Structure 1
């Protein structure tokens, strides 16, 4: 059995396992460099409240003071030593019509963010592959694409997509956790009996792989690996129960929750009322997929560009959706009235997203491998469609990198990557350099060997060397 493998069970079901150090050859057990490196995009739309987003301290080491109570990033304080916050990055191609590309600023903020390619007339989709799919093509098992997940309503245009297999080839993010989970365990297109057992009989995927699981437990596993397996399987159980209680699975998987079978109809997964619940399920699935080696590249997109939910949970009781609030107006086209207090509402939204970002980091950090954690071997990149949503600004973009990606990144730092005194510029720090840096961080190489020189057709070649350890 390999250190990272699958349990294969009845009806063709497969369940990935986390890194198990006990199963490594004796001479390889102390080699954390052998752990795989991964990329995850944690993507939001409509920009942020720039006045309260970035650290409140000077450039350099991140401290508790950097995450002051008035900062949107305050929930991240516990991860300050594992974060890298670059400042002064602008998008390439640039917005405001500065570079030749189709589409408006919202379209460019979505379609160009992971591609650094122009949008084409007609489709308004970008002319190239996105970073997540590029990484998957390079380092995933052959034929395994990046995991593409979404939360909320998906617009059937460039506004609803950030992942692309190639020129004008959008990848629709799966916004139904039950379907994403079926893909993860290999039953969406396999035997109907598996679905019957998982739904009508209320069995768990753990029941279907029980024989191989019992055989695995008979191996000489360390206590740490046994604890890790128990945590992994408990995560699966909890996820299944959550999905059952939400009605995403036709029958509840937990017998003691049978009365809650009905829950939410699968057709409502994109509704605002389900935004938080679906998001948590999607992050559980994402963490399982990354930790088990099902993929080494993933995107999680929250909402569509120029749209977004009406936030009415966790203390928020907004009247207008995220896009309208980003403009501070009651109408999407700015023809309405100003929304009183919209800046504070945007701050609350930014801070809420940071809490969800922390939830994902917690899940990834809970998996240990090779003397580190899965999070330590990832680059989990918070990114947004825009910086200031009201201005549709493409400059001084909000980025946060969590995890050092196996020691590639210089974490615990707040770093200005532009040589200009004002970070609100479009001169010398195009975002394609960040994409290039991320591609190399996870171990991608040019077809002829050597590091990636330039990702995308806009911007400048090379990496942001300031960000590297």
Structure 2
């Protein structure tokens, strides 16, 4: 789940920066709706994403405060063409440049998704421009996601219908290995006298069966179960009918479910049906949350202004409205988590336990446009790969103690001046700089993505992923690709601190 414009960091993060994560830690924060799931959450603290925009070109390219950030977010690649003029409005270098590599969803999907592509859900049914797009299928190639109706239509052919399943089929869809189901027959077959060639064929068949059995369709993959979640054709059509000027995200579609919840329901049903193991759900930029009683679009609000400028008089109640939006997103993520946790998958586990559902924010503070101290929240252990019930500070190398940032440094009482140029509402740039590239390595390894001998993800590889992207140092992005001579992955490997086995 990806949302734009960051958050009020002082209220989003718990006071605690390391240790056990409890419901009591979350209750006073914007994340209060997630308190019931504290033991299944993981909060990786102290992370920096790549290619930060600054007025003095100190930490990234000089194109656009949003375009270069979202384009580099999941690609960890610079954008092209480059522009070293942070306040230029030249269209070709501010609003249309694109990342020079594929994004994480495509890198993973190339290896583990049935058709080699991810499922990208664009809530509100809006297609993104380069300024807000996060998904790239290849260098400089934007990937257009699906609206709710399109995504639901892709599921209907997978629904289980007709006569009851056989006991063996039921056991398989509940997670039991097919090799276990046929082990007696295999043992008998392997005792037969057969040629070396036949033995190799049998061994290859066993290996193929073992590697593909994890894409079996669940017994709960049905229209009836979709209706329980709220994922129906009628609801999908309503949720996909949004457009400019329509606040479909907060409009009730079915009972208590709004348009955003329908996308979450489709995502959860897609998990149940094993439709795709790589699902990105993206909330729109430049959105007006009319259903929350807000009439200023979210981008301007993030600047504490009534426009998208970098400086000006504080908009009264801007902070209060931003906190409303933060709470709304937290509730949407909590609803998604609840849906996944309601799907049993055998042995006392749920779909949430066997997944990693992660909420990523575009930036830390929306007025400062800073990328250090990134607000990231994960639910689920990906089948026991990750620790849960923990806040883990990954920022051991910083010289400044980790804090919750300074979002309330300007406009807290609705008066004064908002100034995004100074980045005063952000976090001290000396802290919260552990590279997100390493977290992406964690995610890929947890999902079974493999790397080549160089550690970069590669189809057909057999090694653990230890490297991802152009560089893991945001300063290497200054000037664009090739401008910094030693741009590379300086600190390869995943965050071992996040591993349950560490």
TM-score (norm 1): 0.74
Cα distance in 1 between the residues matched to 2:42 and 2:167: 42
Given the superposition, is the C-alpha separation of residues 403 and 219 from structure 1 closer, same or farther in structure 2, using an over 3 Å criterion?
A: closer
Cα distance in 1 between the residues matched to 2:240 and 2:148: 9
Question: 2:300–2:308: 8 Å Cα contact kept in structure 1?
Answer: yes
Given the superposition, is the C-alpha separation of residues 269 and 215 from structure 1 closer, same or farther in structure 2, using an over 3 Å criterion?
A: farther
Q: 239, 255, 269: which one pairs with 1:288?
A: 269
Give how far 1:102 is off.
5.7
SS of match in other structure, 2:79: coil
Question: 1:48–1:389: 8 Å Cα contact kept in structure 2?
Answer: yes
The runs of 5 or more residues in structure 1 that have no matched partner are 1-41, 187-204, 249-263
User: Who wins on radius of gyration, i.e. which is larger?
Assistant: 2
Cα distance in 1 between the residues matched to 2:59 and 2:74: 17
Q: State yes or no: 1:348 paired with 2:361.
A: no
Q: 410, 415, 418: which one pairs with 2:392?
A: 415
Given the superposition, is the C-alpha separation of residues 114 and 362 from structure 1 closer, same or farther in structure 2, using an over 3 Å criterion?
A: same
Q: 256, 270, 288: which one pairs with 1:310?
A: 288
In structure 1, the residue matched to 2:32 is: 74
Deviations 1:258-308 (A, max 9, x none): xxxxxx69653555421133212211111111221111101000012xx1x
SS of match in other structure, 2:248: helix
Cα distance in 2 between the residues matched to 1:182 and 1:265: 13
In structure 2, the residue matched to 1:128 is: 101
Please, what is the CA RMSD of the aligned residues? 2.7
Question: 1:328–1:342: 8 Å Cα contact kept in structure 2?
Answer: yes
Give how far 1:468 is off.
1.3
Give how far 1:59 is off.
1.6
In structure 2, the residue matched to 1:395 is: 372
Give how far 1:450 is off.
1.2
In structure 2, the residue matched to 1:137 is: 110
Q: State yes or no: 1:49 paired with 2:39.
A: no
Question: 1:376–1:403: 8 Å Cα contact kept in structure 2?
Answer: yes
Cα distance in 1 between the residues matched to 2:118 and 2:437: 19
SS of match in other structure, 1:378: coil
The runs of 5 or more residues in structure 2 that have no matched partner are 82-91, 175-217, 251-257, 403-426, 453-460, 473-490
> Once structures 1 and 2 are overlaid, which stretch shifts more, 74-83 or 332-341?
332-341
Give how far 1:409 is off.
0.9
Q: Which has the higher contact order (CA 8 A, sep 6+)?
A: 1
> Once structures 1 and 2 are overlaid, which stretch shifts more, 446-455 or 292-301?
446-455
Cα distance in 2 between the residues matched to 1:368 and 1:452: 30
In structure 2, the residue matched to 1:84 is: 42
Given the superposition, is the C-alpha separation of residues 398 and 285 from structure 1 closer, same or farther in structure 2, using an over 3 Å criterion?
A: same
Question: 1:87–1:415: 8 Å Cα contact kept in structure 2?
Answer: yes
Question: 1:327–1:334: 8 Å Cα contact kept in structure 2?
Answer: yes
SS of match in other structure, 2:392: strand
Given the superposition, is the C-alpha separation of residues 292 and 330 from structure 1 closer, same or farther in structure 2, using an over 3 Å criterion?
A: same
Question: 1:387–1:396: 8 Å Cα contact kept in structure 2?
Answer: yes
